[in-house]
Chains A and B, each alone.
Chain A
Amino acid sequence: MSTLTAEQLGGRAAIPPGPGRAQLVDPRRVRLLSFLFMGLAHVTVLKDRVRGIAFMLVELVFLVTLPTTLGMVGGLITLGEPQPHLPIRERPNSLFMMIDGVMILAVFAIFAAFYVVSVKSAAKLADEINTRGFPDAHQKRFSAVADRAFPVIGLAPTFVMIAFFVVVPLLFSALVAFTNYAAPGNIPPANTIDWVGLDNFRRLFGGNQLWGSAVARVFTWTIVWAFLATGTTYIGGMLMAVVLKNSRLRITPLFRAIFILPYAIPGVVSLLVWRNMLNGAFGTVNRTLAALGITDAAIPWLTDPNLARFTMVMINLWVGFPYFMLLITGTMTSIPAETIEAAKVDGATDWQIFRRIQMPQIVFQTMPLVIMSFAHNINNFGAVFFLTGGGPNVGDSVTTSAGATDIMVSWIFNLTVNLQQYHMASVLAIMIFLIIAPFAIYNFRRTKSYREGEI
């Protein structure tokens, strides 16, 4: 967590550390005491009772609950023995054992961090006392102590939320990949879950014909989809931005407002409208085509595997081009007008100006967002679920629940919500981790804090 060191302001060097000055506390003794029991050094030598007692309480609570918590970790290892003779309510619930175990491991990690913090804080305090003497009564007032605790209080809620609702779930789902948590045989509380090692991975990557081919198909489509979805919306958005920019019509702002509509309408709404309109039997699209005399055949927009994939990309273009249009319009206005004027004076055509001056600038400036949009499309659950629902079915869909247009995340959703094949879903979640990790690193290295050496 954090030491209680508030930001120090000027006046630090009030008493310079004279070379012959006697040490008020012995740093080695402080270190020994602080290692021995959390907060011991604070209470005894450093005379910082409030903080010391707080630290000691933390360790005390930890030690008192240790038998229980160790039992929980044990539960994580065994996951409980099946006891079919007991009524369901009294049987060991492997799921709770697992989540409790993971949470306790997180608590252990937090405790270890506390220990490090307390030792470091003791050393720092000893150092301060040796250079500036013991703090006076003014700094020991309750309000001053409370103020120094501000960083801890301010950060604690965020820390707890992230630890238990982001980190623990990620760890848990990684662990589920090594168990047999799945319907019908292993669903708590009626039955227990067991560790199965790498069985699920073997089944998905080559061991089982059906699952293996489904993984390969869904993985390929996820990547192809992300490329197509990002590429089409980017090119479409750039085209519309350039057209709007070059339009000399007086009603151009009206067109711009119209083009923003797909971005403004919530995705669920527009995708569900499209889904209904594209219905093969009675959708508006096919009936319109028939009325116009173009074709009478019911075109299976969402029920033919390849056509459904194509439709998905096209509808995503409809939904997604305004984002890049807005973005690129913004970047184009940031290109200095003089540059373009100069090019015009030199006799450059509109096309040349666009190709040689505007486009390189746009691409350079928007590249980070294109990359993040690619990562977003890999996980674009809505585009699949609301439009096609993952369908149409292909050969292995009955067993694996992966349809022709399913991408990894929508497949995970099907596996957990419909089929309760949690173990397989977790293997896929790990795969998504691996795909997304480069983007995480990229995003990380791009930040100002990283470039300026802050982290």
Chain B
Amino acid sequence: MATTSVTRSAQREIDVRRSVRNQRINSAAIVFVLVLVSIIVLWPIVHMVAAAFTPGQSIAQMPVVPFTAGLTTEHFTHLFNNTNYLLWFRNTFIIATSTALATLVLASLGAYVFSRFTFTFKKSFMMSLLILNVFPSFVGMVAIFVILLRIGGLDTLWGLVLVYLAGNLPFTTWMVKSYMDNVPRELDEAARIDGASSFRIWARIIVPVCKPILVFLGITSFVTPWMDFIFPRMVLRSPENQTIALGLFSFVTDRNNFFTTFAAGALIVAIPFIIFFVLTQKMLVSSLAGAAVKG
């Protein structure tokens, strides 16, 4: 009896020691992985930031160790004085804002109708929304080009807004509709009994109640145009109608490499994005996970 209990306690001690040692190895491995991945993640980012402040023009002139070849802000002044950067910024801002606003108005109206009314062809319409959702809109690129040519929307900002809007609608309408289905009907029915018109109910009850999903979708539709390339490239031709993505791309084509100017321009756009994502990471996690669970 006694001997077995002694061996047992000895055994336990060895177990504890082993697990402490394992834990140390584990922690060391974890720290190693974290640091290694951080270096890989940060390396190109640091190089980009450094390039924005380093004298010179192309990537070939950039030092191997960032920030070791002098500091300058000339790329930023060059960007604002000698290129159309501000114009690109303004164009992109107009496109992104109008797309987001138009998407929200149309999607919330459509979603309200889908969620609260019954009508002929409702099922087939909803089915086509879902199916169109999956097809990337640029497979119809040539046709969109010709349609815009036909209605005079080529090389205009509103033409591009129409393209984005149409591309957004199936998905956003569906998302808002699903959200609205979970909002109790009593809310708007009470208003209807009080004699409110459908439009009033939409504006005063539905839109405020659906604010969370509308904010989320508003942000996503605002963000996409900033970095989209295919459609601006196709629709916008004249130099005064370019967007940020087109402009940045033009700095680093194969023929001429203005990497430092590109880095300066990219930095200005990327910083708001980064601040936003880092600040909202908690919300991002929950909304992503929500999408995973609910579908």
Contacts and interface: CB of A to CB of B under 8 A. Distances in A.
Given A9-B189, A116-B120, A350 B142 contact: no
A305 interface: no
Given A150-B197, A273-B48, A326-B288, A260 B139 contact: no
A432 B45 CA distance: 34
Interface stretch (B4-12, B207-215, B229-237): B229-237
Interface residues of B, number: 109
A399 interface: no
B178 A448 contact: yes
B59 A276 contact: yes
Say whether chain A's binding surface is mostly helix, strand, loop, or mixed: helix
A113 to B, nearest CB: 6
B285 A326 contact: yes
B293 A334 contact: yes
Contact of A150 (B135, B138, B199, B286): B199
B3 interface: no
B42 A162 contact: no
B150 interface: yes
B162 interface: yes
B137 interface: yes
B252 A5 contact: no
A261 B41 contact: yes
B46 to A, nearest CB: 11
A290 to B, nearest CB: 8
A196 B233 CA distance: 30
A69 to B, nearest CB: 15
B278 interface: yes
A146 B259 CA distance: 58
B192 A9 contact: yes
B48 A429 contact: no
B132 A162 contact: yes
Contacts of A454: 123, 126
Most buried by A among B166, B192, B293: B166
A167 B64 contact: no
A95 to B, nearest CB: 6
A228 to B, nearest CB: 18
Contacts of A255: 34, 38
A444 B64 contact: no
B289 interface: yes
B80 interface: no
Contact of B42 (A248, A261, A269): A261
B121 A166 contact: no
Contacts of A99: 143, 146-147, 150
Nearest to B274: A264
A448 B30 CA distance: 40
B120 to A, nearest CB: 5
A170 B139 contact: yes
B180 interface: no
Given A158-B107, A275-B252, 5 more contacts: A2-B120, A261-B278, A327-B288, A369-B291, A454-B126
15 contacts: A1-B121, A7-B118, A117-B121, A150-B199, A151-B113, A158-B110, A158-B169, A167-B128, A170-B143, A255-B34, A326-B284, A331-B292, A333-B289, A365-B293, A449-B181
Interface of B: 26-27, 30-31, 33-34, 37-38, 40-42, 44-45, 47-48, 58-60, 62, 64, 106-107, 109-110, 112-114, 116-123, 125-144, 146-147, 150, 162-163, 165-167, 169-170, 173, 178, 181, 189, 192-193, 197-199, 202, 226-227, 229-230, 233-234, 245, 248-249, 252, 254, 257, 259, 262-263, 266, 269-270, 273-274, 276-278, 281, 284-286, 288-289, 291-295
